[in-house]
Homo-oligomer: A and B are copies of this chain.
Amino acid sequence: MLPCQHFSQYAAGVLRLRARRLPANLDEAHLAAWRSLLGAHAVAVGRIEHEIARAAGDLVPLAWYDILIALVEAPDHRLRQRDLSHSVVLTRSGISRLIDRLETAGLVRREPNPADRRGDLVVLTESGCAALRRTWPAYAQGIAKHFARHVRADEARVLVRALQRVRAASATS
């Protein structure tokens, strides 16, 4: 006697299983899109990260890169940790520890905030800026090779439109 008999005998069972249990607000096409999103993200990010880690030249990992990019794009290259949390998906404490490491590596600096002394400002250093310049070419090549190369231009436009709605969606309802 098989365990989990409720799930039928596999093979044809897989699809029957899903079709039977799909709620009214989720169809096969959207479920397939969700699965392909998870798969593509995992594969592409994994490969790019791996290549960057193996490459010579003291490149920074993607998590560091995200912080540095947010700082470069900020006025005066400085931001509170609170604002950095919008660019990176981490909790408060996660950001705090990440900035610790970046500061130890000399890529950012904490600086008192005259306007609000509850939290220091995080400032990009020369060295952090250099790390960004060093890493970008490898990152760009990784995006091109493991992602962009497989996506047509018209598909890219659709991705942007749809996925930006997903990202921007408020958590309501």
A interface, by DSSP: helix, strand, loop or mixed?
helix
Q: Check: A155 CB closer than 8 A to any chain B CB.
A: yes
Q: Check: A53 CB closer than 8 A to any chain B CB.
A: no
- Mask: chain A, 143-173; 1 = CB below 8 Å from B; 0 = not: 1111111111101111111111111010101
Q: Is there an interface contact between B162 and A159, defined as CB atoms closer than 8 Å?
A: yes
Given contacts A31-B143, A125-B3, contact A159 B158 (CB under 8 A): yes
Q: Which residues of B contact A95 (CB under 8 A)?
A: none
Residue of B nearest to A161 (CB): B155
A129 to B123, CA, bound (A): 50
Copies in the complex: 2
Q: Which residues of B contact A141 (CB under 8 A)?
A: 23, 25-26
Q: Give the interface centre of A72, A75, A141 by most chain B CB atoms within 10 Å.
A: A72
Q: Is there an interface contact between A3 and B145, defined as CB atoms closer than 8 Å?
A: no
Partner of A3, one of B42, B73, B126: B126
Q: Is there an interface contact between B137 and A150, defined as CB atoms closer than 8 Å?
A: no
Q: Check: A82 CB closer than 8 A to any chain B CB.
A: no
